[in-house]
């Protein structure tokens, strides 16, 4: 049902069922002709996931409780359930029995997100046939020439789906990367959950090009993809739904990509939530953990959440690693994120306008409610770290998976915030006692929001700087390809002329066979030069214009978001200044903000000052060139 604020919740006979939600994300490394032992490994993954017996949904619950399954979504062999109402403690006991019957299965998930499962005709069909008893609902996401490689399986009815290829997916001439041809995307499904109502589940695999080192402009396409995904997740929250995002993000925790998902999308990191002592940007264990010796890869999995380039993975063991991967015994590239709905009872930081009248405290100021909504991550771990039972010499994939278990709170239990998360280096600190309204570190709601807005301002400014650098690089690459086209065209004409001259020079002379071979060579080279010129023209015109216009589209949307954040900060600063001028009251920004918040406010004021932000290169929060207007960049 939808409440008065438009948010969708579960009610009625199923409200007491399914108190937890367990999800899995796994990159299965299923590239045809490229991935080693692909069929063997993917069938082992399917057999393992399909070996868990089905868990019946609450009696009377079906897809008809929400919406009918959408077109293109696989749903069959749904376990039969009784049509009687689910309405009392007796059914709670039945539900507990079901939980006890499956809790011993470590692979008993409710929703599974798979990446790099590209061979639909073979791998996906086998996966579906093995797993359809426990996961009767599924969606395979199609995009571009060879597909996104994304799929989701669910125990719960799927009521809608969406596939959105990213605007920026690399450069078409870099065929070996495969991103542009594959059409990297995010896919989403909306499930009807008996207890939480409608939940949007997102699955993504972002572009890998750019790595982790060097200027952010090298990773601008990945940052742009994070922006697209974050804004879509925010749309889910605006519709009153919880959202869960899973996938291979190809980014380590300190990256700008992760910052965009966190600050723009309002997303919480499940692994950080279940490991509160882990700094949000950690990529290696502290010195005390490894005693200045070799990094323990087992501890790196358990404490850092490493999912790729681990020495424990047979496909990457012995592989030359960069210093970042060596320091952490691998990299954390796969994530589970989540957030709550954007309604007055669960509004994320930074998204409540300064003029909002809803969700205010007794003093007329805005109240910051828990951004996690009704979901609490109680456990998250790296999984699928074992090797195949019948082939102990190989791992399931070149990535490990990540699981997360969420407890679903009763509806209305977040009306009075039991805890407002406080970030320590980006990680959530311990919550306040239940029933105590907290604003974190003694900050008032408005100062808390100002600090969050300042952090969002820094992230958006850094993203705009990265995209600005990418726009300059795109122009230069396009110019280079146009020159290559002209050069190839001129070379092709020259070779055609030479091919016509050679037979003439060879008439009535010996060695005509050799000259005939030279003639054939000139013809072949002319064809090759013509092909190269055509490719350069295609890359320069179609690829270059596509990239430039896509960059401009995203940069303009970020600039609009920046203007809104700056407006909120300016309005807040004006109100604070007005309070500071009140006789007998000393509540100015410099005296009320703690050191961290003061620094954030100072940074935001510097960024809002056009003369300061545009006159010095590297003035942005992460360095790099200062941001210019979009019109001057394209």
| pLDDT, mean of residues 269-293 | 85
Q: Which of 180-184, 186-190, 342-346, 580-584 has the highest mean pLDDT?
A: 186-190
For residues 246 and 276, the answer to whether their CB atoms sit within 8 Å is no
Of 9-23, 274-288, 424-438, 532-546, the poorest mean pLDDT is in 424-438
Cα 250 to chain centroid distance, Å, stands at 9
| pLDDT, mean of residues 368-380 | 84
Residue with tokens 């969420």: 406
Give per-residue pLDDT as tens, 3-54.
444 445 555 544 455 899 999 999 999 999 999 999 999 999 999 999 999 9
Where does the pLDDT of residue 99 fall: very low under 50, low under 70, confident under 90, or very high at 90 and above? very low
Question: Residue 135 and residue 55: Cα distance in Å, rounded?
Answer: 9
Q: Which pLDDT belongs to residue 421? A: 46
Alpha helices in 23-108 (DSSP H): 38-50, 89-102
| pLDDT, mean of residues 423-450 | 49
Give per-residue pLDDT as tens, 343-356.
544 343 333 333 33
Question: Residue 405 and residue 111: Cα distance in Å, rounded?
Answer: 11
Count Cα atoms within 13 angstroms, Cβ side, for 389.
5
In degrees to the nearest 10, what's the CA dihedral of 96, 101, 106, 112?
-70
Question: Residue 467 and residue 620: Cα distance in Å, rounded?
Answer: 13
Where does the pLDDT of residue 422 fall: very low under 50, low under 70, confident under 90, or very high at 90 and above? very low
Question: Residue 203 and residue 186: Cα distance in Å, rounded?
Answer: 6
CATH architecture of 12-283+332-440: 4-Layer Sandwich (3.60)
Give per-residue pLDDT as tens, 543-593.
889 999 999 999 999 999 999 999 989 888 888 776 655 554 444 444 334
**What separation in angstroms does the CA of 485 have from each of 304, 497, 542?**
48, 19, 13
Residue 62, judged by CB atoms within 10 A of its CB (0-12, 13-18, 19+), counts as middle
Q: Which pLDDT belongs to residue 519? A: 82
Q: Is residue 357 predicted with pLDDT exceeding 90?
A: no
Question: Residue 198 and residue 159: Cα distance in Å, rounded?
Answer: 9
Cα 31 to chain centroid distance, Å, stands at 21
Q: Which pLDDT belongs to residue 308? A: 96
Of 129-133, 316-320, 581-585, the poorest mean pLDDT is in 581-585
Q: Which pLDDT belongs to residue 392? A: 94
pTM (2 d.p.): 0.80
Q: Which pLDDT belongs to residue 586? A: 45
How large a percentage of the chain has pLDDT more than 70? 69
Q: Is residue 115 predicted with pLDDT exceeding 60?
A: yes
Where does the pLDDT of residue 82 fall: very low under 50, low under 70, confident under 90, or very high at 90 and above? very low
Of 169-183, 344-358, 513-527, 601-615, the poorest mean pLDDT is in 344-358
Name the average pLDDT for the chain.
78
Q: Which pLDDT belongs to residue 314? A: 97
Backbone angles phi, psi at 201, to 5 degrees: -110, 125
CA gyration radius for the chain? Answer: 28
| pLDDT, mean of residues 213-234 | 95
Q: Which pLDDT belongs to residue 341? A: 93
Q: Is residue 601 predicted with pLDDT exceeding 60?
A: no
| pLDDT, mean of residues 446-471 | 91
353-388 core/surface letters (b: 16 or more CB in 10 A; e: else): ebeeeebeeeeebbbbbbbbbbbbbeebbbbbbeeb
Residue with tokens 């001129």: 490
Q: Which is more confidently placed, 347 or 285?
A: 285
Q: Which pLDDT belongs to residue 352? A: 34
Where does the pLDDT of residue 116 fall: very low under 50, low under 70, confident under 90, or very high at 90 and above? very high
Where does the pLDDT of residue 171 fall: very low under 50, low under 70, confident under 90, or very high at 90 and above? confident
Where does the pLDDT of residue 443 fall: very low under 50, low under 70, confident under 90, or very high at 90 and above? low
What is the chain's percent helix, strand, coil content, to nearest 5? 40, 15, 45
Q: Which pLDDT belongs to residue 371? A: 81
Which residues make up the CATH 3.60.10.10 domain(s) of the chain?
A: 12-283+332-440
Q: Is residue 127 predicted with pLDDT exceeding 80?
A: yes
């Amino acid at each position: 049902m939808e409440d008065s604020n438009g948010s969708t919740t579960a009610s009625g006979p199923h409200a007491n069922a399914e108190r937890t939600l367990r999800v899995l994300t796994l990159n299965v490394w299923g590239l045809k002709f490229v991935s080693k032992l692909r069929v063997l490994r993917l069938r082992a993954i399917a057999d393992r996931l399909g070996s868990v017996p089905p868990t019946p949904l609450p009696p009377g619950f079906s897809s008809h409780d929400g919406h009918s399954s959408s077109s293109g979504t696989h749903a069959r062999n749904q376990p039969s359930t009784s049509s009687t109402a689910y309405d009392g403690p007796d059914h709670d006991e039945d539900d507990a029995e079901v939980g006890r019957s499956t809790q011993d299965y470590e692979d008993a998930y409710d929703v599974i997100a798979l990446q790099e499962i590209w061979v639909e005709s073979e791998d996906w069909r086998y996966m579906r046939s093995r797993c359809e008893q426990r996961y009767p609902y599924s969606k395979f996401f199609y995009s571009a020439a060879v597909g996104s490689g994304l799929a989701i399986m669910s125990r719960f009815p799927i009521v809608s789906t969406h596939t959105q290829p990213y605007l920026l997916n690399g450069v078409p001439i870099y065929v070996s990367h495969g991103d542009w041809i594959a059409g990297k995307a995010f896919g989403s499904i909306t499930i009807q959950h008996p207890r939480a109502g409608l939940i949007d589940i997102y699955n993504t695999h972002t572009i890998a090009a750019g790595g982790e080192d060097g200027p952010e402009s090298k990773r601008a396409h990945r940052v742009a993809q994070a922006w697209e995904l974050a804004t879509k997740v925010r749309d889910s929250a605006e519709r009153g739904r919880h959202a869960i995002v899973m996938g291979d993000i190809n980014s380590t925790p300190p990256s700008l990509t992760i910052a965009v998902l966190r600050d723009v999308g309002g997303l919480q990191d499940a692994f950080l939530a279940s490991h509160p002592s882990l700094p949000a940007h950690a990529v290696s264990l502290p010195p005390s953990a490894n005693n200045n010796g070799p990094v323990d890869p087992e501890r790196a999995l358990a404490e850092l959440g490493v999912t790729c380039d681990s020495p424990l993975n047979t496909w990457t063991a012995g592989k030359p690693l960069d210093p970042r991967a060596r320091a952490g015994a691998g990299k954390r590239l796969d994530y589970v994120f989540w957030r709550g709905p954007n309604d007055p009872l669960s509004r994320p930081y930074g998204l409540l306008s300064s003029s909002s009248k809803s969700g205010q405290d007794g003093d007329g100021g805005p109240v910051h409610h828990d951004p996690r909504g009704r979901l609490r991550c109680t456990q998250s771990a790296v999984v699928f770290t074992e090797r195949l039972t019948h082939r102990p010499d190989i791992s399931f994939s070149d990535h490990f998976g990540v699981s997360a278990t969420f407890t679903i709170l009763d509806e209305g239990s977040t009306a009075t915030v039991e805890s407002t998360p406080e970030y320590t280096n980006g990680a959530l600190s311990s919550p306040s006692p239940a029933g105590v309204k907290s604003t974190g570190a003694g900050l008032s709601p408005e100062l808390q929001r100002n600090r969050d807005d300042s952090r969002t301002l820094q992230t958006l400014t850094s993203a705009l700087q990265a995209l600005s650098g990418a726009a300059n690089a795109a122009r230069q690459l396009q110019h280079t390809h146009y020159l290559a086209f002209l050069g190839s065209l001129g070379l092709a004409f020259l070779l055609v002329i030479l091919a016509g001259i050679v037979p003439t020079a060879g008439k009535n002379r010996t060695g005509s066979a050799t000259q005939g071979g030279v003639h054939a060579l000139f013809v072949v080279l002319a064809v090759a030069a013509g092909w190269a010129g055509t490719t350069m023209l295609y890359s320069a015109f179609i690829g270059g214009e596509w990239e430039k216009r896509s960059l401009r589209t995203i940069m303009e949307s970020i600039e609009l978001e920046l203007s809104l954040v700056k407006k909120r900060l300016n309005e807040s600063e004006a109100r604070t200044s007005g309070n500071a001028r009140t006789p007998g009251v000393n509540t100015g920004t410099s005296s009320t903000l703690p050191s961290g918040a003061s620094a954030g406010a100072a940074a935001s004021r510097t960024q809002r000052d056009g003369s300061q932000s545009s006159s010095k290169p590297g003035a942005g929060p992460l360095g790099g060139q200062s941001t210019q207007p979009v019109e001057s960049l394209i």
